[in-house]
Amino acid sequence: MIITIDGPAGSGKSTTARKLAARLGVPYLDTGAMYRVVTLAALDAGVDLHDEAALTAIAARDDYELDLGPTHIRVTLRGHDVTEEIRSMRVNDHTRYIAASPGVRRILIQRQRAIAARLGSVVTEGRDQGTAAFPDADAKFFLDAALEKRAERRLHEMLADGEEVSPAQVLANLDERDRTDSERAVAPLLVPPDAVRIDTTHLSIGEVLDVILA
């Protein structure tokens, strides 16, 4: 069984996907982590983030790995644990270049399908899971919330991780990412036509989970 959860940053999709997967006893796949680790690898390599061939070559390497646990995801790059580093502001500020690369998207979608085929059942979350990666998924959800609410949630997460960021920085970064995610020519953020849409602005994670399970 494949369940997809798509939506913008801060919509609650990561926490919801994790809890839903735990409830169903299946693994969850955070596809944003894949774009993030490729971003980090590209920054480390110092390549031009508009160089399509270089980005595609980095995505095609097998020096990064996702360890999918029942309630967590651990990410390694060249053997180093980068689970926290991929959530840093430095990575946040550059994921849009990697997400806009057709070559990177092609490779990551292939890898997402291979992971799902190996696992059998998965809750997978991202921006294009119900549209490009798994158009035939068994159930699709699209989560959204007001920008200010999403920024507030992201700020709490980042402060809890020890990042030094201001509310204004987080709001500006989310606003910019919303724009680039929706406007990019390659795989823009779209609501799958057959998805259940949930506005999480005034809902707790528990309430979102109840809607999904129902």
Question: Under the rule (CB under 6 A), what is the footprint of ligand DC?
Answer: 9, 31-32, 35-36, 95-96, 99, 126-129, 177, 181
SS3 198: strand
CB nearer to ligand DC: pick between 26 and 158: 158
* Smallest gap from residue 172 Cβ to ligand DC (A): 14
CB nearer to ligand DC: pick between 100 and 212: 100
CB nearer to ligand DC: pick between 36 and 140: 36
* Smallest gap from residue 200 Cβ to ligand DC (A): 14
Q: What is the DSSP string of 93-131?
A: TTHHHHHT-HHHHHHHHHHHHHHHHHHSSEEEEESSIII
* Smallest gap from residue 6 Cβ to ligand DC (A): 7
* Smallest gap from residue 146 Cβ to ligand DC (A): 17
* Smallest gap from residue 3 Cβ to ligand DC (A): 14
Q: At what angle do helices 52-60 and 102-119 cross, to 10 degrees?
A: 20
* Smallest gap from residue 213 Cβ to ligand DC (A): 22
Residue 5 bridge partners (DSSP): 125, 141
Q: Are 10 and 202 in contact (CB under 8 A)?
A: no
CB nearer to ligand DC: pick between 190 and 214: 190
CB nearer to ligand DC: pick between 34 and 214: 34
Instruction: Give the H or E element holding residue 168.
Output: helix 167-183
Interatomic CA distance for residues 73 and 132, integer angstroms: 22
- B/e letters for 152-164, b = 16+ CB within 10 Å, e = fewer, are ebbbeebeeeebe
CB nearer to ligand DC: pick between 86 and 214: 86
Q: Are 189 and 95 in contact (CB under 8 A)?
A: no
